[in-house]
Amino acid sequence: MAKERLSMRKIKEVLRLRFEHQQSTRQIAKSCDIARSTVKEYLDRVQKTGIPWPLPAEWDDAALENRLFPPIPLISPEKRQMPPMEYLHQERKKKGVTLQLLWHEYKEANPEGYQYSQFCELYRKWVDKLDVCLRQEHRAGEKLFVDYAGQTIPIQDPQTGGNREAYLFVATLGASNYTFAEATLTQDLPSWIQSHVHAFEFFNGVAEILVPDNLKTGVTHPCRYEPDINPTYSDLAEHYGTVVIPTRIAKPKDKAKVESAVLIAERWILAALRNHRFFSLAEANQAITEKLKEFNHRKFQKLNTTRRELFANLDRPALKPLPEKPYEYADWKKAKVNIDYHIEVDGHYYSVPYQLVKESVEIRFTSTTVEALFKNRRVASHARSYRRGGFTTLKEHMPKAHQQYLEWTPSRIIRWAAQTGPHTEKLVTQILESKPHPQQGFRSCLGIIRLGKQYSQERLEAACAYALSIHGFFYKSVQSILKNGLDQKHTLLPQREKPTQPLPFDHPNIRGKEYYQ
């Protein structure tokens, strides 16, 4: 089709040059100063419509134009009627459904309907009139947006009358805008993780992707391209078979869905509860649950449906099932394995295989268990103990002979202590003998020996002598003696050695002096 229709005078000139003078397309184009493609188009139209030459005398310009460009028959609006826009909008959120597929289905039912370009144009004009949060296109079950609201909820202490601010956690599914919300007293990591567990239980399923704002609780180091996800948050995602993809820094479109959801939650939940007085977190969450139900069952302003109905039709069938057990909160830390092949968690010491001495491991610990991972492989697992200063040692983690497998041995530590003096040597020996396994005393002994660098070996020897006199066979005892100068304030009387007597029985757990040689 030519971009611009030629005048009837020029069209007649084209026909004259062709049929009377048998000029080529190139010659006609040059003579009439028009494009060769335009000449070809008009000659094709003449051939298809069977226009004779010379033209009949009774034909005027209008008659020629009507034959060259016959009017397009009008199609009744009923035959071109678009499907309901709400239907198209919901179908597009289903996995694999595109506008082109919907158009093909439409054309099969309406052969004389709109062509693809006009079909898309009409749909996009309708979409542009929707709210921002509804206009965004997200696949069913694909994304769950999570964040905290900016406004807080005052919780009044019934005894003191003072207020404590609670925070509103909001989670919204991308396709249906179905929303979960609950109040928490803090925004710390345990609260953040627990709110996710409650959200998954509320939806009775898990989305493919979790999309938090770059909240410090969930994202340790925000980065536009490779954000560092908190290990516990990553552990939660692995447990539920999902992934965490935070919003990009300085990309407001990434956050539009969750920010809109937070804004709506503040208006329909927090604002609606502004005149209520709460005396406990449970009371506040009960009121939030009631308002949340009303919110999810309220119809959209520009869609003849509700969040609850969209959730049932779109997101719910596409969500991943929940695992058999909910996630148990776990903390993570990195540690270097001590020479006694133990790692420390909250003042208690747990064994790992002795081959990992001086290696760095990751520790995952819950309220009931402690696990050590080396190169992302679990190498030790223990029941959690809260006895500070205690040891949990597995026999399979111990070497068969310290002298053969370990750089540090009881005899080496005793020889090192003897360089300070006899009292230091005796105290170290007493500590090692008091432990079920001598390696459990390595830390205390090394700590005592290193105090000589801080206070001098002379003072350390005197402090060890004082510790022996009061049976203070602990690192903290010697440290306290030196810190308070007790080694310089007291003159110790020489102690008489008690005669040693042979034990009346033998037992495999009783070690003789030969053990330390």
Residue 137 lies in a domain: no
Give tens-digit pLDDT for 184-222: 999 888 999 999 999 999 999 999 999 887 666 555 544
Q: Return the residue matching tokens 């760095």.
A: 360
- pLDDT-derived band of residue 131, with 50, 70 and 90 as boundaries? low
Structural domain including 44 reads 8-68
Residue 355 lies in a domain: yes
Q: Are residues 255 and 158 in the same domain?
A: yes
Distances (CA, A) of 291 to 205, 272, 273, 311, 343: 22, 8, 9, 18, 48
pLDDT exceeds cutoff 60 at 412: yes
Q: In this structure, are strands 143-156 and 209-212 parallel, antiparallel, or unpaired?
A: parallel
The closest alpha carbon to 449, from 481, 482, 413, belongs to 413
Q: How many domains does the chain have?
A: 5
Rounded Cα distance, 349 and 334, in Å:
14
Residue 1 lies in a domain: no
510 residue type, one letter: I
The closest alpha carbon to 515, from 397, 414, 399, 390, belongs to 414
Q: What is the 3-state secondary structure (H, E, C) of 167-199?
A: EEEEEEECCCCCEEEEEECCCCHHHHHHHHHHH
Average pLDDT score over residue span 20-33: 85
Q: What angle do CA 298, 300, 303 make, to 5 degrees?
A: 135
Last residue of a domain, one of 266, 295, 318: 318
Q: Are residues 398 and 417 in the same domain?
A: no
Residue 2 lies in a domain: no
More confident residue, 252 or 130: 130
pLDDT exceeds cutoff 90 at 120: no
Q: Are residues 396 and 311 in the same domain?
A: no
User: What is the structure's pLDDT at 79?
Assistant: 54
Q: Are residues 225 and 312 in the same domain?
A: yes
**439-460 burial code (b ≥16 CB/10 A, e <16):** bbbbbbbbebbebbeebeeebb
The closest alpha carbon to 292, from 135, 218, 183, 217, belongs to 183
Q: Are residues 12 and 150 in the same domain?
A: no
| DSSP state letter for 224 | S
The closest alpha carbon to 136, from 184, 175, 187, 78, belongs to 175
pLDDT exceeds cutoff 80 at 70: no
Q: Are residues 231 and 247 in the same domain?
A: yes
Query: What tokens appear for 476 in the block?
Result: 């903290």
User: What is the structure's pLDDT at 117?
Assistant: 84
Residue 325 lies in a domain: no
Q: Are residues 256 and 172 in the same domain?
A: yes
User: What is the structure's pLDDT at 225?
Assistant: 35
User: What is the structure's pLDDT at 221?
Assistant: 43
More confident residue, 156 or 76: 156
Q: For the chain, how many residues are written?
A: 517
CB 228 within 8 A of CB 221: yes
Q: Are residues 113 and 252 in the same domain?
A: no
More confident residue, 401 or 301: 301
Rounded Cα distance, 124 and 103, in Å:
13
- pLDDT-derived band of residue 319, with 50, 70 and 90 as boundaries? very high
User: What is the structure's pLDDT at 77?
Assistant: 54
Last residue of a domain, one of 402, 422, 451: 402
Give tens-digit pLDDT for 439-482: 777 888 888 888 888 888 888 888 898 888 888 888 888 988 89
Q: How many CA atoms lie within 13 A of 302 on its CB side?
A: 12
Rounded Cα distance, 501 and 359, in Å:
44
Highest mean pLDDT among 155-164, 320-329, 333-342: 320-329
pLDDT exceeds cutoff 70 at 30: yes
Residue 210 lies in a domain: yes
Averaged pLDDT score across all residues of the chain: 80
The closest alpha carbon to 95, from 139, 157, 130, 135, belongs to 139
User: What is the structure's pLDDT at 516?
Assistant: 46
Residue 466 lies in a domain: yes
Residue 413 lies in a domain: yes
